[in-house]
Structure 1
Amino acid sequence: MRIILLRHAESLGNVDELAYCRVPDHSLPLTETGEHQARTAAPAVREMIGDHPVAVYVSPYVRTQRTFELLELGDVVERVVPEPRLREQDWGNLQDPVDQEIQKRKRHEFGHFYYRLPYGESGADVDDRVASFLNELEHRVEADPTHPNTALVVSHGLTMRLLCRRMFSWSIDLFESLSNPDHVDLRVLTFAGRKWRLDRPFEQWRDSPDGTVQLPG
């Protein structure tokens, strides 16, 4: 079993933070650069999948749906499941740019995992829902012999990090030391030898305070 994690391409919110004050987070489109990124990433994703069927689980946000669409994987896609549990962390209704900056500062001070945004979520809330998704995916694969052995998950940077945190039981200290992957960056989880393996680590902006690492020796 393989799970290929893919972050969406560049969206309007990545280049204009005030866009969140005008457009709902779930409706933010890709930029022209993002559209180019997704098309450019398509051959690498296709090569990774090969000629075998793939089940696609995609966040229902516009930027993730459009990223998947531009990959043009139609002939190998066995099923496409819009999965709300893979959405970005809910930041609530950020219509006030001053409050937006205050919330970002508080989140940085308190920690990305535990700080709950007003009318939104904490990282811990996202952690709970990705755990639910992983459990259901495991049961679905076990119960359905027709389910492909490869799953492509198109989601968001924080969501990708938390999926790996749950899969590998990383500490909160380690999670908060990791940086988001770049746009249309991949990580591959492979089940072999009775355990899951990560193909390569996420970049870290600091060593984990508790001394734990992503890929134990």
Structure 2
Amino acid sequence: MTGAPASLVLVRHGESVGNLAAARAERTGAEVVDLGTRDADTPLSDRGLDQARALGAWLGGLRGDERPEVVWCSPYLRTRQTAAAALDAAGLDLPVRLDERLRDRELGVLDRLTRAGVEARHPQEAERRRLLGKMYHRPPGGESWADVALRLRAALRDLSERDDGRRVLVVAHDAVVMLLRYVLEDMTEDALMAVVRERSVRNASVTRLDREDGAWLLTAFDEVGHLAALDAAVTEHEGTDDTGA
């Protein structure tokens, strides 16, 4: 990288109606997530909007030298809604750069299938997934985590050149936050998967990395104290699910 931002605040979007539908499908043993929109058009739930506003209240309360100066955002509706609601609640008027490389992982033929659905409808893919692991399994028509990491490396090069020295807020998705950590912290596959097995990235949570002496230092991960401070509900997700939004 020829330059680098001073800090990155990584935020997963607020709870979406897709998150609710996926949780309901898993809970009832359904094979397919009942969702009436394509993934890119899935909006926030009411609780997700509350989470985004709580995030904004936290951003607005930061000192001037800690607040983000620019936003990079996935173009998916739930992330754009999260960024807009947060900035409005914070009273901040910041440039928002939409970048499709920050989109969620694409699941191809496994899209909208629960664990039970993958086992029932694509048993060979279920076996391939167990064999190859989360990092390298690429479902037909979809992406592996390694594929997502590749596009994130390209996005980071552009971000670093365009916003060198600035404080950047990135609003994206669970896998994107995890894989940005993987890229920026030079993590191994084993180290990344250890984090993934332990926890998911919760909706509207904050992960922060600061640039110090030419390296990235993780100073916060999956923090949700700002939600509790304003009585906004925290959405818990398992860390091993490949089918969540």
Which TM bucket (shorter chain)? 0.7 to 0.9
- C-alpha contact (below 8 Å) 2:40/2:76 kept by paired residues: yes
**Residue of structure 1 in register with 2:216 after alignment:** 196
**Residue of structure 2 in register with 1:86 after alignment:** 102
Which of 6, 13, 19 in structure 1 is aligned with 2:11? 6
Q: Secondary structure at the match of 2:216?
A: strand
- C-alpha contact (below 8 Å) 1:49/1:150 kept by paired residues: no
Q: Secondary structure at the match of 1:113?
A: helix
AA partner of residue 41 (structure 1): L
Equivalents in 2 of 1:45, 1:81: separation in Å? 18
**Residue of structure 1 in register with 2:190 after alignment:** 173
Tell me by how many angstroms 1:194 deviates: 2.5
Tell me by how many angstroms 1:100 deviates: 4.5
**Residue of structure 1 in register with 2:179 after alignment:** 162
- C-alpha contact (below 8 Å) 1:2/1:150 kept by paired residues: yes
AA partner of residue 108 (structure 2): G
Equivalents in 1 of 2:59, 2:152: separation in Å? 22
**Residue of structure 1 in register with 2:50 after alignment:** 36
**Residue of structure 2 in register with 1:138 after alignment:** 160
1:27 aligns with 2:41: yes
Equivalents in 2 of 1:35, 1:99: separation in Å? 30
Any stretches of 5+ residues in structure 1 without a counterpart? Answer: 143-147, 207-217
Q: Deviations over 1:55-105 (max 9, x none)?
A: 110000010000111113575444211111100001125366688533694
Structure-2-length-normalised TM-score: 0.72
**Cα distance, 1:11–1:128 mapped onto 2, change above 3 Å:** same
Q: Secondary structure at the match of 2:95?
A: strand
**Residue of structure 2 in register with 1:72 after alignment:** 87
- C-alpha contact (below 8 Å) 2:149/2:179 kept by paired residues: yes
Structure-1-length-normalised TM-score: 0.80
Equivalents in 1 of 2:64, 2:33: separation in Å? 37
- C-alpha contact (below 8 Å) 1:22/1:95 kept by paired residues: no
Q: CA RMSD in A?
A: 2.9
Q: Secondary structure at the match of 2:75?
A: coil
Equivalents in 1 of 2:211, 2:95: separation in Å? 21
AA partner of residue 86 (structure 1): L
Equivalents in 2 of 1:162, 1:192: separation in Å? 20
Any stretches of 5+ residues in structure 2 without a counterpart? Answer: 1-5, 23-31, 224-237, 241-245
* Matched positions, count: 201
Provide the identity percentage.
27
AA partner of residue 57 (structure 1): W
